[in-house]
Amino acid sequence: KKDIPAVNFIIHEIHCRRNIEICPYCSDSIPKSEMKNHIESEHVQVTCKCRMKMESSLLKDHEASSCPLRPVLCQFCDIQLAFNKLQEHELFCGARTEPCGRCGRNVLLRELKEHPRACG
């Protein structure tokens, strides 16, 4: 969208009414000849592997940031697993112990970062 000189405005308006449509889904101005392709590529409903339905244009962001099945790494063992399994896995995995390199005591993995303060 840009400013149109007043002298050209009527011609511009006729041209736009003839050639441009407003997308009913996103309100973008789309050439009429491209509307079908726009709707099929941007607004068609798809189903993510988590069974959530959304517009195809939203799928990539959903899979990367909010899908419960998106892959994530355990902070303790670096194994890759689905986000919806992470909390349960880390409760178990973080309960494993490792000896402290300074004091020799066995420390829970989930407490290993904080342990040096207590160990002195």
Indicate if the pLDDT at residue 42 is higher than 90.
no
pLDDT given for residue 45 in this prediction: 93
More confident residue, 44 or 3: 44
Residue type, 16: C
Domain ranges of the chain: 1-41, 44-68, 74-119
- Indicate the pLDDT class of residue 1, thresholds 50, 70 and 90: low
Report yes or no on whether pTM surpasses 0.75. no
Q: Average pLDDT, whole number, for the chain?
A: 91
- Class at the top of the CATH hierarchy for domain 74-119: alpha beta
Nearest-5° Cα angle at 106, 83 to 113: 50
pLDDT given for residue 120 in this prediction: 67
Reported as a single tens digit per residue, the pLDDT across 72-113 is 999 999 999 999 999 999 999 999 999 998 888 999 999 988
Element (H, E) at 81: strand 80-82
pLDDT given for residue 89 in this prediction: 98
Strand, coil or helix: what is 90? helix
